[in-house]
Structure 1
Amino acid sequence: MTHSEPGSEAHAGMVPNDFGVPSGERIHVDGLLEALLAVSAGLDLDTTLRTIVKSAIALVDAKFGALGVVGDSEELKQFVYEGIDETGRELIGDLPRGRGVLGALISDPKPLRLDDLSKHEASVGFPDHHPPMKTFLGVPIQTRGQVFGNLYLTEKTNGRAFTAHDEMIVLALASAASIAIDNSQLYALTKMKQEWLLATGEVTTALLAGADALGVLQLIADKSLSLTSSDCAFLAVPPDPELTGVATAELVVTVASGLDSETLVGHGIPLDFSTSGAVYRNKFPIVTESLEFDPGFGEGHEYGPAIVLPLRDGQQVRGVLAVLKLRGAEQYGADQLASMSAFADQGAVALRLADNQRRMAELDILADRDRIARDLHDHVIQRIFAVGLSVQGTLQRTRAPEVHQRLSGTIDDLQDIIQDIRRAIFDLHATEDGAPSLRSRLNQVVAETSADTDLRVTVQVRGPLSVVDPSLGEQAEAVVREALSNVVRHAQASTVAIVIDVHDSLTVTIADDGIGLPPGAHRRGLKNLCERAFALGGTFDAQSTDGGGTTLVWSVPLPDGNE
């Protein structure tokens, strides 16, 4: 066994004299130059690596050659070989991972020349069906000061051991190979960045063209899958777009691409004890060997390496984008994480666009409902009133009992139609969940209670009715109905003013211009209003005003959560 100690660098066409080369042996300069040109001719990395191995075998007349690419864990992540056919490769089994003599060259990246592999202290032998190998020459390949991999050569065809001359030639080839590999890596990186830019442009075009937000998210998942050579990709967002940060307990997979995409969509991912939840809360990407929580993969696949990125929209995170590879696949690189981070933010833009589109659609619907309600109230109901007045005038002039009865029925039908239109108007102001708002319910109570009278009722609201909880809203509705019914039956009033005031308490004030409260009046309706107020810790007061009429004031405190 002999270890070479390389001297000064070899220049093109120049050979140092301290390699112990016999005086009669000459370097095949033409062959070396041809190999250097072949190695530097291409830009595809895989093609370049295979060309390096073939050139090395030809230069030193070896039977077998290989180039192992060293990964982050100091194991071989790629192994390009020549001299063994595919049948022999399948019989041997898994490719080397960098143990034995190959591992010795990884831990100590210096040229290694052996006359007998089996006598090296790190030798672990060969697996079954592996061809016999005795002589060995290994040379490291460095790019930008870092070990990229090692070039391995075994078994010269003449049966002799590798010489210092062979080592020197392979060293010269390795030096050129490092430049070729660096160029190929730069080309691959540039090409990858260009592909990410094209994908970003495609997404941007779809956004500007007003494409459906879900379709844009699907495009983002598809591009992320293909550009990272992943097996699965998915995008998860909060179930309610109004919820952000800690306000939600889970994320829901909205779109997916690749394996298990059909089973993934719709599955929930809890924020606790999940990689996606940690990314969503911390707003930082995570590269991991496996996800902490299974978001709903099928039983046929096991996933390993993953990248999970936040969809950042300023300081807000709208969801997460994840890409995964099957278990045992190569880990993701730092360059992939950097490229994906910028691309993932396009997903946040798409989600914000979807949110804006949803809000605009809601505003359009509300505006359209207001227009319809206004047209019904200002035009349709007024025309029906005019028709009703005309029919009433005709009714007063008719003499025939049958015609009189029919016209009376028509007037009642018109009144029913007006009530139906009023209910339709109130329904147009229903809240998103389909239940009428407190304001619309109070207006409906006023319309129903005063429908068959000439009473003129005004309703004024001061403060946000939205803070009034449903149970208290039902009480207010009952108070207005009870008080207004009393006015209709007993007050002989022509106008009623209802004021709803929301501050620290909910106060309902109802004032009419009727005959006022008779002395000693004790009506059951007023008693009910008083009991409702006391039950809620509030107050009730009913007083006759100096100018005539009655003023009722019903007030109860708002719950602490609404203050």
Structure 2
Amino acid sequence: MEPLHTARRLSAAVLAVSNQLTVPEVLQTIVDTARELAEAEYAALGVPDDGGSFAQFLVSGVPAEQQEAIGPLPRQHGFLAVMLREPQAQRLDDIRADPRFDWWPSAHPVLEAFLGVPITSGDEILGALYLANKPGGFTSEDEELVRVLAAHAAIALTHARLYARNRELTIAEERARIAHDLHDAVAQRLFGLRLTAQAADLLVDRDPAAARARLAEVSTLAREAAEELHAAVLELRPARLEEDGLPDVLRKQVQILDRASGPGGPRLSYAEQAPDALTPAQQTVMLRVAQEALHNAVRHAAARTIEVRLAGSTLEVADDGMGFDVDATLKAGRSLGLRSMRERACAVRGRATITSSPGGGTVVRLEVPGV
């Protein structure tokens, strides 16, 4: 292969890591590039899960109908497992002759020459690149090229992991803030309730009518305190999509955020129109995208109003805040939240779009295919 072409393909794969592509798109670019540059018939990239299978397994060179015939994602066995345990690259003339070879399904292509390169970050193996069937076998130069691509796959996977952890911390901080705000509100109402009850006690003998009025205030304050406590419990309890359904969970989330935003914060509203029946995975993605969009709008948009709308299989979160330049944000690399929403949508064959402009507010729209 011409050196100039090789350099261009490597450059394109490296740039994919830093542009607006989602992690699955980046990994697919990497595995396609590895197959092309190493002149292999087949290539795959596997990212293991904690259950002995793979969280992601992307292939190149295998037609879609053959992939379907092969069946579900593979388990961690044979050379798939070897590459996840050993940090060294593996180059074989015929994988079937190695004692570590296990088996493959009947619809699986027959593999001979094999090159496996682990995807590592420090001492941790994050996944592996697998290439097979190069006429004449793989060379040390092929191995070096694939090592470069594996290093950039590691960057993409590490960024995704760091972002997920950062979001978890941010959500925990937001939950703690809301709980604190609600606690303060409840404490204020209980203090008012105590003072009013004391006033009623002082008035009960000399002014029974005034005492009854104070007792009515006690009843009102007690009801409001109970509502605040109920809101706190709902916010701190994980969303129960299976039991409550997406519309109800979204409605409660909006109500809680509206209550917690306080008199100086944005007003939040929720509306729904004939929501479709969605799979559990689609409902989870809808909820997570809504939470991401709401978090951004409440924390960063300086909005007066935030509207959440669910119609059919489409979700919209719109605010009238300061807005931003979407293209400039993507180019500047400050787009992890946008990538996260697009990646979640991609996982359920949906589409997430963000429309915004400086001073023009923001609309996050998620569409998923109907069941």
- State the TM-score, normalizing by the size of structure 2: 0.48
- State the TM-score, normalizing by the size of structure 1: 0.33
- If each structure's helix is expressed as a fraction of its own residues, which one has the higher value? 2
